[in-house]
Amino acid sequence: MDLMQRYAVYYAPREGAFAFRANEWLGREPGNRRNLPQPVLPGIGDPREITAAPRRYGFHGTIRAPFRPAEGMGEDHIRATVSDLAARLAPAICEGLQVEMLHGFVALTPLGCEAALLDLGAAVVEGTNSLRAPLTGAEIARRRPDRLSLRQRELLGRWGYPHVMEEFRFHLTLTDRLDQPEPIRAALEVYFSPVLPQPFAIEDLCLFGEDMSGRFHLLHRHALTG
């Protein structure tokens, strides 16, 4: 088994047309570690040039952001904790997904389920907080606390990440930050429209691990059955 330096709890779609098209766009399937040829879309050019960051993480929606495990905390215990959480929590059901520009990059965002997502995100953050090591000074500095609100700095100190609880905004990243995102957003809307799920459901908690090269992999999938 590969040694993982960090873990995260993500949404990742189950096998099907949506999962295949999303993984194809980013050029990798995080569950079986298989690389895929990326599609060349009209008006975009080489997709590798605008997908480096999301390709590293694999197609996902963050629920618990990546964390270093606490001292003595092994993967078996982390997996058991996530499994127990999934058994207690219900799926979050949304009307669907839309392609939109978000802070300079293109992402898929959910429709019609803000309260359910906030509840799910808060429960997972609370339920996994004991698994993580305290943030180092360098990790705090990488979050640019000078650019965070007072509340976000409080959340960073309490939960290890600033965009949690009422600051949580679930999304599925499709590109790096772009200088001219609108043409790419329009092309991706055409590309994804035939496979966007309606309704869109978060049905699992997916435990991802970051290997020593910095790439994330889907390790375990736990169905939400609460």
Say how far apart CA 176 and CA 158 lie, in whole Å. Answer: 29
Q: Where are the domains of the chain?
A: 6-223
3-state class percentages of the chain: helix first, strand second, coil last, to nearest 5? 40, 25, 35
What would the mean pLDDT of 11-19 be, rounded to a whole number?
97
Say how far apart CA 170 and CA 12 lie, in whole Å. Answer: 12
Share of the chain above pLDDT 90, in %: 93
Could you tell me whether strands 105-111 and 61-67 are parallel, antiparallel, or unpaired per DSSP bridges?
unpaired
Share of the chain above pLDDT 70, in %: 100
Taking each continuous run of H as one helix and of E as one strand, the counts in the chain are 7, 11
Structure confidence at residue 175 as a pLDDT band (50, 70, 90): very high
Q: pLDDT at residue 1 above 60?
A: no
- Dihedral sign, Cα of residue 97, residue 51, residue 64, residue 167: negative
Q: Could you read off the pLDDT of 28-50 as tens digits, one per residue? A: 999 988 899 999 999 888 999 99
User: What H or E segment, with its residue span, contains residue 122?
Assistant: helix 114-128
pLDDT recorded at residue 219: 97
pLDDT recorded at residue 2: 73
pTM: 0.96
What would the mean pLDDT of 51-72 be, rounded to a whole number?
97
Q: pLDDT at residue 181 above 90?
A: no
Q: Could you read off the pLDDT of 209-219 as tens digits, one per residue? A: 999 999 999 99
What would the mean pLDDT of 53-64 be, rounded to a whole number?
97
Say how far apart CA 108 and CA 96 lie, in whole Å. Answer: 10
Q: Could you read off the pLDDT of 92-147 as tens digits, one per residue? A: 999 999 999 998 999 999 999 999 999 999 999 999 999 999 999 999 999 999 99
- Nearest Cα to Cα of residue 101 among 216, 201, 181: 181
pLDDT recorded at residue 165: 98
* Yes or no: domain 6-223 corresponds to CATH 3.40.190.10: no
Question: Which tokens go with 165?
Answer: 């609880």
HEC readout, 54-106: HHHHCCCEEEEEEECECCCCCHHHHHHHHHHHHHHCCCEEECEEEEEEECCEE
Residue 155 burial (10 A CB sphere; 0-12, 13-18, 19+): buried
